[in-house]
Structure 1
Amino acid sequence: MEGLIRWRSMVTVAIDLAMPEDFNWAYDVIDRWADDPQKLGMHWVGPTGEERLVTFAEFRARSHRLANELEAMGLQRGDRVLLMLPRVVAWWESILGLMKMGGVPMPATVLLTPKDSIYRINIAEARAVITDTDGAAKIQAIRDQCPTLEHLIVVGSPVEGTTGFEDLISAGASERARMPTPGTDPALIYFTSGTVGNAKMVLHTHASYPIGHRITGTYWLDLKPDDLHWNLSDTGWAKAAWSSLFGPWNMGAALFIHDGRGKYNAHETLELLQRYPITSFCAAPTIYRLLVQEDLKAFTFSSLRSCVSAGEPLNPEVIDVWREATGLTVRDGYGQTESVLLCGNPPGQPIRPGSMGKPLPGIDLAIIDDENEPLPPGKEGDLAVRVRPERPVGLFKEYWRNPNGTAACHRGDWYVTGDRAYVDNDGYYWFVGRSDDVIISAGYRIGPFEVESALIEHPAVAEAAVVAKPDAARGSIVKAYVVLVSSAQPSEELQHELQEFVKTNTAPYKYPREIEFVRDLPKTISGKIRRIELRARAEQEVQ
C-alpha cells in the first residue's frame, strides 16, 4: 500500500469511478461532447490519402440515424451484432448506434476465416453482421450455416441480399430520445485472442467498462481535450476499445485514424507521425520493434509528446533506441481483453524499462500463490486482481455462456489473469510469461520474455520467441525461434554467437540450447506470438 500511496502523490487529477444505475456511454459521453458543434472527434486518412474531419456532432447525428433504422429493421435490445470492419468511420458509428438502441456489438477483425465467423455468429446467436463489401462476400458464402443471422449490412457497395449502411443512415431520423439503460446491461462482447482453444466471449457492461476506461485515458494515455491521439490497433482487438474508443473519447481527445491496407509499413507510420499534428501515439510492441529498425533520426515529430505500448511487454532495448532517437520514453501498460488498464507507467512515475509499472488507482493487484495468498517481493506467482468484497470498475462481467470458464479464472477473492509475474521491493511489476509458457529446465524456472529480450538486443535479431522443448535429461530445454533483420543471414556461427550473447546478458542457465531461424513467427489476430504453435512444433521434433 505504501508504494501505491507514493505513486498516487504524483497524480495531479482525481477521477470518480462511481457507476450510476443508468448509464449509456454513447448518449452520456459522446453526445455531450457533441454539444460543441465544432469539436473534432476524428481526423481520418484513407488508403489512398483521402482525408475526412468528423466532429462529435456528426457522430451524434449519424449514430442516432443508425440506431433508429436498426430498430425499424426489427433489432432489439440485447441482440448481438458481429462488427467486422477495417478502420473506417462506420466502425465508430456502428458502435455508437448499437449502444444507443441497446444492441451488443461484437468487434472482429476482417482477417477472420470462414470457420472463425461461423463460430462467432453461432455461439452468440447473432442476428446481424455489419461489414464491408469484401466481408459481405465472405459472410454470404457461409450464411446458410448461420441459422440466427437475419441481416447483413454492408458499408460500401451492397450486394444482393444485403442492406446498405448508407441507405440506413440516409433513411434514419437524426433525432432520438435517450434510451434508459441499466448500467449492468450487456454493452459489448469481445472474443479472446485465442492463444489456446476456442475464443471465449468476454462480456462487458454499459457502466463498468466505459467508465473504467477513464483509468486508461487519465492515468496512462494522459489525454486532454485538445490532443490528437493515434492508436495503430486493428478494430477487431480489444485494444481498439482501450485506445481508439473509450480511453480517448472519455477525455474528449480527437482520434487520428489511418485506414492503411495491406502489409504493415513502418516507414509510412513514421512519415504520418511527422506529417500530422499527432500528440499521442499508441502501438503494440511488435510495431515498435519494426519502427526502431528504420532510420529514426531522419524524422522529426514536432507535435508528439506521449508514446505508450501494450499487448505484450516491450523490451527495454527497444525503449532505449526509441528514446535516444525521439527524446520520448515509451510507457508500457498491462491489461487484458477482460479488463481496462490494470498496471502501467503514468507520466511522472520513474520508469524501469521492461517493467509493467505499478497498479492503477482502483485496482488491487497482487502476485498470489497456489493457496491464493499474496507473495512477498521477488517471488514469482500468479498475477491476480482482487474481486471481493467488491469487483473493480472496468473488469468484465463473465465469459458469456461459459460458466466453467468464468469459474476457472476465479480463485478465492481473486480473478487470476493467467499470467505469471513478480513484484519488486518498490512495487513495480515484472512480467514472466503466460502460465503455460513458463519453462522448467533442470529444475530452473525460466520466463520466455527475459530470454527473448536478451536475444533482440543483438543487432542481427528482429524478433524472437522462446518455448520449452522436451528433453530426456533436463525435462525441457530452451528453444528459440529467431527472425533475423534483412541484413543478417542464418549460420551456425550466428547461432553460437547468439547463445553466447544471451549467456552474457542474462543468467547463463537461461540461454537457448537450440536456435532455429524462421521467416516469421505465428501470431494471433491481435499480434501476440502463438507460442502454443511453436511448443507443438518443438514437441513434434522429439517424437
Structure 2
Amino acid sequence: MELTPSGYVDTFARDNLPPADLWPDLEFTIDDVNYPDRLNAATTLIDDAVARFGPERLALFTPEGEEWTYGELLARSNQIARVITEDCGIVPGNRVLLRAPNTPWIIAAWLGVLKAGGVVVTTMAMLREKEVDSLLELTQPNLALVDHRFLDGFSGPAASRGVEIIPIGSDADNDLTVRSGQKAESFDNVVTAADDVALLCPTSGTTGAPKATMHFHRDILANADTFARHIVKVGPDDKCACSAPLAFTFGLGALVVFPLYFGAASLVVERATPLELAQYAHDSGVTILYTAPTAYRAIIKAGRADLLSDLRLGVSAGEHLPQATWEAVHEATGLKLIDGIGGTEMLHVFISAAGDDIKPGAVGKPVPGFRAVILDDDGNEAPDNTVGRLAVRGPLGCRYLNDERQRNYVVNGWNVTGDAFLRDDDGYFVYQARSDNMIISSGYNIGAPEVEIALNEHPDVVECAVVGKDDRERGALVTAFVVLREDAAEGKEKAREIQNFVKTQIAPYKYPREIRFVEALPRNPSGKLQHFKLRDALKAEAAPAVHA
C-alpha cells in the first residue's frame, strides 16, 4: 500500500518501516468508517471529544480522589505539547519516550506528544538499565518524560545517548507539571498523515533482543472502531478500569483510547493487587473491568465475588482464559467474561465474543473488521478442527521497527501470531498453545531467551534454559533449568541469589519463579537446546524444584 505524504520533519519512523513487500495485507472493511488522509489521533481523542461530550465530563479519576475532566485533560495535554515543542525543540517525527506508572499526567503526556507530531515510545517503568539502553538504541528518542520516582536506572543510559529528560511529579523547577503550568492552555495540533507512525511499542521478544512495533495514527482509532465499538460497546455512561500499564497496548486501549473515543471515564491506578483493583473498581462505580484470568481467579478464590457484582462487563485478555475460570466467575457473579486474543503487533484484541455469542472454552470469532484463518505447516489454510497457526488480517497489522523478524510474523500477507489454535464447526477459534518461546504469566509476555541472557550473566551459571510451566494461578510460571559451575552449591539460598540477581538485570516480573538445578541440558546431535524436553520434564515433574 502506498503511503500518503508525511507530516513529519524527522523521517526516522518512515525510514525504518519494513519493506513494502513484507507488510501484511490491510483490509478496511469496518462498517461506516473512513479515515481521512490527514489525521492526528490526539485531535480525535481529546479535542473532538471535548466538543462532543463537553469539557465538564469526567475523564480520569484515581483511588486517592483526584479527578480530571475532559476539559482539564485537553488543557494539560496542550500545555505539555507546548513544553516539548517550545522548550525542548521537538519537531514532528521526533521520538518521545514515556517511563511512568499509570497516572493522569502520563496520559496527558501521551496525548501531548501526539498533538506535537511526536512519536510516542511507551515503556515499562520497572525496566532495568540494560533493557532501557537497548530500547534507547533501538528507538533513538530525542526526549524522555520520566516519573521522578523512576529516574534510577534510566538517567545513565539516557545521558550516554544524549537523551534529554524531563521529570514528572516532583516540585523541581524543571518538572513537567511545573513547566506545563506556565504555558498557555491552547495548542494547534500538528497536521499528521493518517499513516504517519504515532507509536513505537516495545514487545517482549523470543530471541532476547527487543522489538518495537510501529503503529499509525489511524491504527489507534481502528481498534476503537472494531473491538471497543462492536464487542465491548463502550459508552458515555461507562467507567473503565484495567490492571495493565499503558506501556502494554491492552492497557492503552482500555484506559485511554476506548474511553476517550466514546466519552467514558477511566479509573487510573498506579499499582494494585487483583483484590485491591477490584475494591477500587467496586467503590468507584466502575462498569468495565479489564484484567487477566489470574486476577479473576484470585478474586473468586478470596471469596470476594461481590466486588465484581456491579460490573456491566468483565474483559479477560493477556493470557488464555480457561473454561473453568470462566465458569467459576459466571457461577459466582453472573458475569459472562469477554475473552479475547490480541497482541502488541495488532495493537489490541482481534478475536473475541460478548454476551450470548460467547461459547465457553472458545476465544470467539474475528472481531468485525478482521478475518482469521488457521494455517498448516505449509502456509495453506487448514480445514476446521485442525490445529495450526493462527493468522489474521484487518485494518492494521505488524510492522516491526527495522527488524528482520518481520519476515517470520508476516506470511503471505497474514499476521501469524505465534499461537496454535483450531477453528471449530461453528466458526469459533479455540486456543491450543503458544507455538514459540513466549511465556505468558499473569498477563505479562515474557520472552524466555531474554531471561536466559540475564541468568547467564550470573558468575555461577554455566548454562541455562527457560520455559513456561503450566500454573493454575498465573497461567504459566517462568521456570529455569540451571547448570552451575562445579564448585557452586545448589539449594534454596543459591536459587534466591540467582533470582535476586536476575531482578537487577531485567524487569522483576520476568524473573524465574522456579529454579531447577540440573547436571546437563538436553541437546540434539547438532547441539541445539531441546526446550520441548524440558517442558515434558515439567509435566512429569522429573526434576527437583527449588522455590524461592
The match for 1:493 is none
Q: Is 1:221–2:232 an aligned residue pair?
A: yes
> Which of 91, 116, 122 does residue 107 from structure 1 map onto?
122
Alignment CA distance shift 1:530-1:34 (3 Å): farther
Greater alpha carbon shift after TM alignment, 96-105 vs 36-45: 36-45
Q: Is 1:66–2:80 an aligned residue pair?
A: yes
Q: Is 1:242–2:238 an aligned residue pair?
A: no
Q: Is the 8 A contact 2:336 2:355 kept in 1?
A: no
Q: Is the 8 A contact 2:168 2:176 kept in 1?
A: yes
The whole-number CA distance in structure 2 between the counterparts of 1:207 and 1:44 is 29
The match for 1:135 is 150
Alignment CA distance shift 1:484-1:186 (3 Å): closer
Q: Is the 8 A contact 1:229 1:279 kept in 2?
A: yes
AA of the residue aligned to 1:394:
L
AA of the residue aligned to 1:289:
R
Q: Is 1:395–2:391 an aligned residue pair?
A: no
The whole-number CA distance in structure 2 between the counterparts of 1:479 and 1:61 is 46
AA of the residue aligned to 1:59:
L
Higher relative contact order (CA 8 A, sep 6+): 2
The whole-number CA distance in structure 2 between the counterparts of 1:342 and 1:272 is 29
The match for 1:199 is 210
Q: Is 1:376–2:376 an aligned residue pair?
A: no
Q: Is the 8 A contact 2:97 2:121 kept in 1?
A: yes
The match for 1:538 is 534
Q: Is the 8 A contact 2:390 2:417 kept in 1?
A: yes
Q: Is 1:290–2:298 an aligned residue pair?
A: yes
Q: For residues 264-298 of structure 1, what are the alpha-carbon distances to aligned partners after superposition, in whole Å with 9 as ceiling and x for unaligned?
A: 4333233223312111111012222222221125x
Alignment CA distance shift 1:52-1:482 (3 Å): closer
Q: Is the partner of 2:433 in helix, strand or coil? A: strand
AA of the residue aligned to 1:338:
E
The whole-number CA distance in structure 1 between the counterparts of 2:322 and 2:141 is 40
Which structure 2 residues correspond to residues 105-504 of structure 1 after superposition, within 5 A? 105-147=120-162, 149=163, 151-157=164-170, 163-260=174-271, 264-297=272-305, 299=306, 301=308, 303-339=310-346, 340-349=348-357, 351-386=358-393, 392-396=394-398, 398-402=399-403, 404-436=404-436, 480=469, 482=471
Alignment CA distance shift 1:355-1:142 (3 Å): same
The match for 1:17 is 33
C-alpha displacement of 1:437: 5.9
Q: Is the partner of 2:61 in helix, strand or coil? A: strand
Greater alpha carbon shift after TM alignment, 115-124 vs 369-378: 369-378
Q: Is the partner of 1:208 in helix, strand or coil? A: helix
Q: Is the 8 A contact 1:377 1:424 kept in 2?
A: yes
AA of the residue aligned to 1:90:
W
AA of the residue aligned to 2:422:
Y
Percent of counterpart pairs with the same letter?
26
The match for 2:492 is none
Alignment CA distance shift 1:64-1:230 (3 Å): same
Q: For residues 243-273 of structure 1, what are the alpha-carbon distances to aligned partners after superposition, in whole Å with 9 as ceiling and x for unaligned?
A: 112122222211112223xxx4333233223
C-alpha displacement of 1:300: 5.1
The match for 1:40 is 58
Q: Is the 8 A contact 2:224 2:257 kept in 1?
A: yes
Alignment CA distance shift 1:382-1:530 (3 Å): farther
The whole-number CA distance in structure 1 between the counterparts of 2:34 and 2:242 is 27
C-alpha displacement of 1:81: 1.5
Q: Is the 8 A contact 1:191 1:202 kept in 2?
A: yes
Alignment CA distance shift 1:377-1:525 (3 Å): farther
> Which of 73, 93, 105 does residue 78 from structure 1 map onto?
93
Unaligned runs of 5+ in 1: 1-13, 387-391, 439-447, 453-464, 468-477, 486-517
AA of the residue aligned to 1:222:
K
The whole-number CA distance in structure 2 between the counterparts of 1:185 and 1:90 is 25
The whole-number CA distance in structure 2 between the counterparts of 1:97 and 1:41 is 16
Alignment CA distance shift 1:138-1:304 (3 Å): same
Q: Is the 8 A contact 1:195 1:530 kept in 2?
A: no
The whole-number CA distance in structure 1 between the counterparts of 2:510 and 2:392 is 22
Unaligned runs of 5+ in 2: 1-29, 449-466, 475-494, 517-530, 544-548
AA of the residue aligned to 2:36:
P
Q: Is the 8 A contact 1:384 1:415 kept in 2?
A: yes
Q: Is the 8 A contact 1:292 1:318 kept in 2?
A: no
Q: For residues 335-364 of structure 1, what are the alpha-carbon distances to aligned partners after superposition, in whole Å with 9 as ceiling and x for unaligned?
A: 110113210012341x22221100011111
The whole-number CA distance in structure 2 between the counterparts of 1:75 and 1:381 is 46
AA of the residue aligned to 1:399:
Y
The whole-number CA distance in structure 1 between the counterparts of 2:468 and 2:143 is 45
Q: TM-score, normalised by structure 1?
A: 0.74
Alignment CA distance shift 1:482-1:415 (3 Å): closer
The whole-number CA distance in structure 2 between the counterparts of 1:82 and 1:479 is 31
Q: For residues 376-412 of structure 1, what are the alpha-carbon distances to aligned partners after superposition, in whole Å with 9 as ceiling and x for unaligned?
A: 11101111124xxxxx32324x10111x222222222
The whole-number CA distance in structure 2 between the counterparts of 1:480 and 1:103 is 41
The whole-number CA distance in structure 2 between the counterparts of 1:424 and 1:305 is 29
Q: Is 1:51–2:65 an aligned residue pair?
A: yes
Q: Is the partner of 1:415 in helix, strand or coil? A: strand
Alpha-carbon RMSD: 3.4
The whole-number CA distance in structure 2 between the counterparts of 1:195 and 1:218 is 32
AA of the residue aligned to 1:425:
D
Alignment CA distance shift 1:532-1:395 (3 Å): farther
AA of the residue aligned to 1:393:
P
Q: TM-score, normalised by structure 2?
A: 0.74
Alignment CA distance shift 1:177-1:355 (3 Å): same
